[in-house]
């Protein structure tokens, strides 16, 4: 199926990044959120990110103008029913995602494909709550979306081949690379990445190293571009904890037990960059470790 119009649910960090790359690839995009402030902030962020690409010679003035012209916004979820593909990028809570899909169902065209940008929740389970499990997939972008080259495509147990091929075609048109993942907790990237981050938090919790020494060790000793605790702050400690809980609950293996220190930071509301404090305090420049 030829996909021309795409709906994006959620105008946060992931949603606005997804809208950005879709619009640059000449898709008509409808961006939805429950908050007008969030939609306004998303459009401002998209323009800033396009300006950054423009300044680096990645895009032209015409491409920037065309991309901005491809994006419309709405507070009304039913308006996304007229699209060919919907990418849900709301908060990483299954109850929220399920409610969104239930609200969309009466308004969809028969051919509309439903997808979720979830980083860990069962695609099969989400799909089973809809009227089209064969036209439902995981469409997991990496953050920040305009920069990261990978998209995980996750088939649920009922996903059919035309749906997969349509989504693969979108990834290719975006100029990104698709990795096909099976529908098991956290898929590929987070199945490997989150336990590493969790182990870094355990290393801090047990006093093996400080925040600075752990991050320096992985940057300089393993050639990682960002230390694991710095990366956790960038992702959001609440997101890291949620994914570890999905792994622990879904696989019932104690090696996925979330570190108590990670839980404590989330309980404190120290979620990383988005709250100005996590393993680093971002109210200071440069940021300083909080432990």
107's CB contacts (< 8 A; 6+ apart) are 77, 78, 80, 81
What's the N-to-C CA distance of the chain in angstroms? Answer: 53
The residue from 119, 120, 166, 198 that is catalytic is: 119
Q: Using CA of residue 81, residue 87, residue 92, residue 97, what is the dihedral sign?
A: positive
At 158, list the tokens: 């009922």
Is 152 a known active-site residue?
A: yes
Q: Using CA of residue 82, residue 152, residue 133, residue 131, what is the dihedral sign?
A: negative
The residue from 152, 166, 198, 230 that is catalytic is: 152
The residue from 49, 116, 120, 190 that is catalytic is: 190
Alpha carbons 243 and 2: distance in angstroms, whole number: 33
Residue with tokens 């809208």: 19
The residue from 140, 166, 198, 230 that is catalytic is: 140
Alpha carbons 77 and 98: distance in angstroms, whole number: 14
Is 140 a known active-site residue?
A: yes
Is 117 a known active-site residue?
A: no
Q: Cis ω on the peptide bond leading into residue 3 (within 30° of 0)? A: no
Alpha carbons 27 and 248: distance in angstroms, whole number: 38
- The values of phi and psi at residue 19, to 5°, are -60, -40
Is 182 a known active-site residue?
A: no
Q: Catalytic amino acids? A: 119, 140, 152, 190
């Amino acid at each position: 199926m030829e996909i021309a119009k795409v709906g994006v649910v959620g105008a946060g960090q992931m949603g606005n990044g997804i809208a950005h790359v879709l619009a640059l690839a000449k898709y008509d995009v409808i961006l939805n959120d429950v908050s007008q402030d969030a939609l306004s902030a998303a459009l401002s962020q998209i323009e800033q990110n396009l300006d950054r690409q423009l300044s680096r010679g990645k895009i032209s003035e015409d491409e920037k103008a065309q991309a901005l012209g491809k994006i419309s916004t709405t507070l009304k979820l039913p308006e996304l029913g007229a699209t060919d593909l919907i990418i849900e990028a709301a908060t990483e809570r299954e109850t929220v995602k399920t409610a969104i899909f239930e609200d969309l169902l009466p308004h969809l065209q028969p051919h509309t494909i439903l997808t979720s940008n979830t980083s860990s929740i069962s695609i099969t389970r989400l799909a089973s709550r809809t009227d089209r499990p064969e036209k439902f997939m995981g469409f997991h972008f990496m953050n920040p979306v305009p920069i990261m080259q990978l998209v995980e495509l996750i088939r649920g147990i009922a996903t059919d081949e035309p749906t997969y091929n349509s989504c693969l075609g979108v990834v290719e048109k975006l100029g990104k690379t698709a990795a096909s993942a099976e529908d098991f907790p956290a898929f590929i990237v987070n199945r490997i990445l989150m336990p590493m981050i969790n182990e870094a938090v355990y290393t801090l919790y047990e006093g093996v190293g400080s925040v600075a020494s752990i991050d320096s060790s992985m940057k300089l000793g393993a050639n990682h571009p960002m230390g694991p605790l710095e990366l956790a702050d960038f992702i959001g400690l609440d997101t890291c904890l949620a994914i570890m809980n999905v792994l622990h609950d879904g696989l019932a293996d104690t090696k996925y037990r979330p570190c108590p220190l990670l839980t404590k930071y989330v309980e404190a509301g120290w979620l990383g960059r988005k709250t100005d404090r996590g393993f680093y305090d971002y109210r200071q420049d440069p940021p300083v470790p909080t432990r």
